[in-house]
Amino acid sequence: MIHSKITEKIRETPSTCTLKFEWDAAVLPGQFIMIWIPGYGEIPMSISDTGNPKAITVKAYGPPSARLQELGVNDKLFFRGPYGVPFTEVKERKLIIGSGSGMACLMPLVDSKSTVMISAKKASELLYRGKINAENVIYITDDGSEGTRGFPDTVLRDFDTKEFHMVYVCGPEAMMYKVLGILSARQNRAEFSLERSMKCGIGICDSCSIDGIQLCRDGPVIGIERLKNSIEFGRSKLDHSGKRIRVEI
């Protein structure tokens, strides 16, 4: 277990905050850590800033992530990693599509050649609002309280993607599934960061598997060609007990 201290805490939205910490390891965009909150649990978190200090951006759901948000400057962080296969980086123009906390793993990819589509339920939930230094930022909200009203897939449908050398996508599976459907009919190279329950992070427990591969080890970043042929993506997954349940699309 690696340990460090929080050096800065930034409130991003009412439900999300960024924690910065010193860690001089080489981490690539798309990789994640398993962060241990003693007494509460251990959860996967993407590195949202791969420089030094590093950062994670946490949205509060259950007890572990809620507890993580209560921590402050000088509190200890415990984690292991980095884990997972990173995104393939390109020098040319790229399109980044992030929904909700999914934007956290995409943030290290953002540069002056990026167009970023970022979506949330409402304006106050838009992550990194006003902080994204990209060529072009398109805000999308379910209720139209900021930017375009709708969802990433509804915007993408009428959006020309020819000029982009790579499309990077992360967000709820329903969103990624629809985006996959649209991009499948086009020629774009694309990579998706997928999510399944992760218990071990080291490729032995099978809780994060999809189509026989372990997302903690051979993912979470998966290329579009592989995803097009997926049996489980957008259809089913295993719950904490291992019971197969439907993915809501």
Partner 1 sequence: MLSVSLAGIKLENPLMLASGILDQNGYTMKRILEKGAGAAVTKSIGKEPRSGYVPPIVSVIEGGLINAVGLSNPGIRNISGEIKIAKESNKPVIGSIFGATPDEFLSLAASMQDFGVDAVELNLSCPHVKGVGTEVGSDPSLVKEIVKTLKGSLRIPVFSKLSPNVNSVLEIANAAIDSDGLVLINTVKGMAIDVYARRPVLSNGFGGLSGPAIRPVGIRYVYEVKKELDPLIIGVGGIENGIHAIEYFMAGASAVQIGTALMKYGCQIFSNISREIGEFMKAEGFQELDQMVGAGIL
Ligand X SMILES: Cc1cc2nc3c(=O)[nH]c(=O)nc-3n(C[C@H](O)[C@H](O)[C@H](O)COP(=O)(O)OP(=O)(O)OC[C@H]3O[C@@H](n4cnc5c(N)ncnc54)[C@H](O)[C@@H]3O)c2cc1C
Ligand Y SMILES: Cc1cc2nc3c(=O)[nH]c(=O)nc-3n(C[C@H](O)[C@H](O)[C@H](O)COP(=O)(O)O)c2cc1C
Residues binding ligand Y (CB under 6 A) = 204-205
Partner whose footprint covers residue 122, from partner 1, ligand Y, ligand FES, none (CB < 5 to 8 Å by kind): none
Site string for partner 1, 18-47 (x = CB under 8 A): ----------------x-x-xx-xxx----
Residues between 132 and 151 with contacts to ligand FES, criterion CB under 6 A: none
**Among 198, 222, 224, 227, interactor with ligand X by CB under 6 A:** 198
Site string for ligand FES, 182-221 (x = CB under 6 A): ----------------xxxx-xxxxxx-----x-x-----
Partner whose footprint covers residue 109, from ligand Y, partner 1, ligand FES, none (CB < 5 to 8 Å by kind): none
Partner whose footprint covers residue 22, from ligand FES, ligand X, partner 1, none (CB < 5 to 8 Å by kind): none
Q: Does 176 engage in binding with ligand X (CB under 6 A)? A: no
Q: Which residue is nearest to ligand Y (CB)?
A: 204
Query: Please, are residues 94 and 113 in contact by the beta-carbon 8 Å criterion?
Result: yes
Partner whose footprint covers residue 9, from partner 1, ligand X, ligand Y, none (CB < 5 to 8 Å by kind): none
Q: To the nearest whole angstrom, how small is the minimum distance from the Cβ of residue 80 to partner 1?
A: 8
Q: To the nearest whole angstrom, how small is the minimum distance from the Cβ of residue 146 to ligand Y?
A: 45
Query: Please, are residues 120 and 101 in contact by the beta-carbon 8 Å criterion?
Result: no
Nearer to ligand Y, 66 or 205 (CB): 205
Look at residue 131 and give its three-state secondary structure: coil
d(CA 216, CA 201): 5
* Residues near ligand X, by CB under 6 A: 32, 41, 43-46, 48, 56-59, 61-65, 101, 104-105, 195, 197-199, 220, 240
